[in-house]
């Protein structure tokens, strides 16, 4: 992975919970596959082994790439997220100011002091 969960300001929880879910899913799927594999006839076992080898051959590099890219994706997304107060400031202040001017108020209607981070 590119970054640890503590490096991510907003998506650290997503990264850690996704990792936990992937580990759990892999564990359960592995146990299920191992149990089901016992019931495969001996005549089919060599074919299953060949398929397993091909899946490992192609799947391992793809999984590594996916894991590397997901860390980079989360890091980029985390850096582009604005904080909730900044979102409120950019969305609400212009609308409230417009509302105040439409009401004909002669006072300044400035709420920027209320939304400082």
Q: What is the pTM of this model?
A: 0.51
pLDDT in tens, 45-69: 999 999 999 999 998 898 888 888 8
Q: Nearest to residue 1, comparing CAs of 60, 57, 56, 63?
A: 63
For residue 47, what are the CA distances in angstroms to 17, 31, 38, 39, 50? 36, 20, 14, 14, 5
Q: Nearest to residue 11, comparing CAs of 89, 84, 86, 76?
A: 76
Tokens of 115: 């939304």
Q: What is the mean pLDDT of residues 73-81?
A: 82
């Amino acid at each position: 992975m590119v970054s640890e969960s503590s490096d991510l300001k907003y998506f650290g929880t997503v990264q850690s919970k996704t990792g936990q879910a992937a580990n759990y899913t892999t564990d359960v799927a592995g146990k299920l596959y191992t149990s089901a594999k016992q019931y495969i006839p001996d005549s089919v076992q060599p074919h299953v082994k060949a398929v397993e080898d091909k899946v490992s051959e192609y799947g391992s590099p793809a999984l590594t790439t996916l894991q590397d890219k997901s860390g980079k994706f989360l890091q980029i997304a985390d850096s582009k997220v604005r904080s909730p107060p900044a979102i409120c400031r950019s969305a609400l202040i212009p609308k409230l100011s417009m509302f105040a001017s439409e009401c004909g108020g002669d006072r300044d209607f400035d709420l920027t002091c209320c939304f400082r981070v």
